[in-house]
Amino acid sequence: MDKFFIKGNKNLNGHVTISGSKNAALPILFMSILTKKIIKINNIPNVIDVDIVIKILKNLGAKIKQKKILYIDPSSINNFSPPYNLIKKIRASIWVLAPLLTRFGKAKIFLPGGCNIGTRPIDLHIHSLIKLGAKIHLEDNCIYASITGRFKGKYIFMEKISVGATITIMSAATLAQGLTIIDNAAQEPEIVDIANFLNTLGANITGAGSKKILIKGVLKLKGGTHRIIPDRIETGTFLVAAAISKGNIVCHQTEPKHLKSVLKKLSRSGANIYIGKDWIKLDMRGKQPRSLNICTGPYPGFPTDMQTQFALLNTISKGVGSITDTIFKNRFKYVAELIKMGAKIKINENTITCYETPILSSSNVFCTDLRTAATLVLAACIAQGITIVNHTHHLIRGYESFHKKLNKLGADIKIV
Ligand code: UD1
């Protein structure tokens, strides 16, 4: 599954069903540690990062049945130190820390790994937990944490908007003593989904989706059933697939409201966009797109996770377009790979400028992270000739059956 042979020059057309959001599923799975009652979760995406979290939970002692619905019985969790070989694989594993501290009063975790997209510090997570009452020290790549009694509710102003740290605070504050206020909180749809999940279990969280989240600590959580929101980044990726191939794709089981900034840009690029309650259609009507100027930002801004796909869109578009990434400032490792395919892209600090290259050529390219992998596969689908895309294992970390979904839309992708 590590190498794709892709025949290019394709128009991508048809219907695709969007999976559940990876970035909502991962923290929600970890938050099951906060209760001892049964949890049922629908719409869990079948991706490797989710498998890793499930393995971590099983290692901690949870009983899990994975059918169409995921059943978690967290009552038997009895370990507060998940193994290094699992923790190191995903950045999301930092979210095990606050639930373990809540449950056991102590936790030991190795520093998390994850996508190679530049420096990804965890200082905001650590400082927030200390503010809420935890004692934490780092030694030999390991986080040692403890707390006496419950977390204590506090007012926390986030110096920098962070999805990850907002999630950490939410999970620590849910069973804390008193009120926690997160000011300048991340407003991503995944944050709202997490709040909805925790409230279903009996938490008292208001304001998720705005800049100020209020969490009144409760004594315990019960069980419950939750459905994960659709993956907005997967949706955006398939819409770009239609735009770059001058095709027509309908994404089903998605949430158009979560993609406003992306749809605005796609429409400006010349795409015809139609929206229903849970579907989005993008029809390029055979036209070459126009290039865009984009600046990524925290939600409701343009998502950094769509930066690489739009760089490809700008590359094949009419004119010159620029993208500035304000979230991860050197998320441009993929540029060298697109250049191998003929793209004309210049990097200047955290901005890239793409010069019109309507026809890409085949090459032998290497994926360095999840979104890069999706972008290079899409580039190969429209390039002339056969492209070999290497290190596609990154793809299955976050996209469910990506190559199968693309092949159904008219791509010709073979796994080697
Ligand atoms: C999450 C998403 C990722 C997305 C990102 C931004 C998951 C698994 N990952 O990542 O797909 O690209 O949000 O939408 O959901 N920062 C610090 N200190 C910290 C934490 C973050 O300085 O302790 C910085 C980061 O380096 C970055 C910015 O804050 O520059 C935003 O990071 P954050 O929103 O936390 O992203 P992640 O949670 O890592």
For residue 294, the model assigns a pLDDT of 98
Q: Which residues pair with 390 in a beta bridge?
A: 3, 366
Low-confidence ranges of the chain (pLDDT < 70): 1, 113-119
Pocket of ligand 1 from Cβ distances under 6 Å: 23, 26, 91-92, 120-125, 160, 162-165, 186, 303-305, 327-328
124 marked as binding residue: yes
Counting Cα atoms < 13 Å in the Cβ hemisphere of 207 gives: 15
Specify the fold of 22-217: UDP-n-acetylglucosamine1-carboxyvinyl-transferase; Chain (3.65.10)
Any idea what DSSP says for residue 291? P
Report the residue among 87, 162, 261, 370 best suited for mutation to probe ligand 1: largest number of ligand atoms under 8 A from its CB.
Answer: 162
Instruction: Work out the number of other CB atoms within 10 angstroms of the CB of residue 395.
Output: 27
- pLDDT at position 141: 84
Of the residues 93, 228, 327, which should be mutated to test ligand 1's pocket, given the most ligand atoms within 8 Å of the CB?
327
Residue spans per domain, the chain? 4-19+230-415, 22-217
Mark whether 142 is an active-site residue: no
Closest CA to 224 of 34, 416, 40, 8: 40
SS (H, E, C) 219-271: CCCCCEEEECCECHHHHHHHHHHHHHCCCEEEEECCCHHHHHHHHHHHHHCCC
Show Cβ contacts of residue 181 under 8 Å, excluding neighbours closer than 6 positions. 154, 155, 156, 212, 213, 214, 215
Res 75: pLDDT: 97
State the distance from the centre of ligand 1 to the C-alpha of 140, rounded, in angstroms: 23
Alpha-carbon span 169 to 42, nearest angstrom: 24
pTM of the model: 0.96
**How confident is the model at residue 67, as a pLDDT?**
84
The domain 4-19+230-415: what is its CATH number?
3.65.10.10
So what's the pLDDT on residue 71? Answer: 97
Residue 339: other Cβ atoms inside 10 A:
16
Q: Kindly list the distances between the CA atom of residue 184 and the CA atoms of 43, 181, 292, in Å, as whole numbers in the listed order.
A: 30, 10, 29
pLDDT tens track for 129-180: 999 999 999 888 899 999 999 999 999 999 999 999 999 999 999 999 999 9
Q: How far is the CA of 328 from the centre of ligand 1 (A)?
A: 8
Crossing angle between the packed helical segments 163-173 and 123-131, to the nearest 10 degrees: 20
Tens-place pLDDT, residues 339-389: 999 999 999 999 999 999 999 999 999 999 999 999 999 999 999 999 999
| Marked catalytic residue, from 115, 251, 354, 367 | 115
- What is the predicted pLDDT for the residue at 113? 67
**What pLDDT, on a 0 to 100 scale, did the predictor assign at position 111?**
84
Index of the ligand 1 atom closest to the CA of residue 303:
14
